[in-house]
Amino acid sequence: MKARLFILGLVLWFVATVALRFAGQRVLHPNNPLGTIVLFALSFVLMALLLRRLCIRSKLPQGEWPTAAISVLLPTMLLDPFSSAFFPIVFPNMAPELAGAFGGWMLICCAGGLVGATFRSRKPL
């Protein structure tokens, strides 16, 4: 594991969690399946691009990108199950029935990050 990237992932998780605690009702909406699908698709792509960019900026060889992605995403994978389980306490501004959509969103984000870090470029970086 890459400690610096793990700490970055922890900071990103904390900032995102605080932002959702105060403005999450503007992002996830009950009874809006199309909005949820669009959010999931955009999040997947943005996380893939973010992880690739982090790996490139860190000047990591491509062989280390998957480990870097795990390091960045691990805080989300470890902490957001608790955010989902205690959704009404963590996110009092959002409808409790959005806990499943939130959990799905976090899975999509992690999947995007892992995909972004594992697909190889055709030309060497």
In the chain, at which residue ranges do the beta strands (DSSP E only) sit?
A: none
Q: Range of 42's domain? A: 3-20+33-118
Whether 93 maps to a domain, the answer reads: yes
pLDDT at 119 (0 to 100) = 83
Whether 39 maps to a domain, the answer reads: yes
Whether 28 maps to a domain, the answer reads: no
Whether 75 maps to a domain, the answer reads: yes
Token couple for 68: 């870097």
Q: What is the DSSP string of 66-78?
A: HHHHHHHHHHHHH
**For residues 55 and 4, is the Cβ–Cβ distance under 8 A?**
no
Give the integer Cα–Cα distance in Å for 116 and 86. Answer: 30
Whether 123 maps to a domain, the answer reads: no
Give the integer Cα–Cα distance in Å for 39 and 104. Answer: 11
Give the integer Cα–Cα distance in Å for 115 and 120. Answer: 10
Whether 82 maps to a domain, the answer reads: yes
Token couple for 59: 């000047």
Task: Report the number of distinct structural domains present in the chain.
Answer: 1
* Residues of the chain above pLDDT 70, percent: 96
pLDDT at 118 (0 to 100) = 92
Whether 124 maps to a domain, the answer reads: no
Q: Report the 10 Å Cβ neighbour count for 3.
A: 8
Q: Report the 10 Å Cβ neighbour count for 52.
A: 21
Q: Is the pTM of this model over 0.75?
A: yes
The 10s digit of each residue's pLDDT in 90-117 is 999 999 999 999 999 999 999 999 999 9
Whether 27 maps to a domain, the answer reads: no
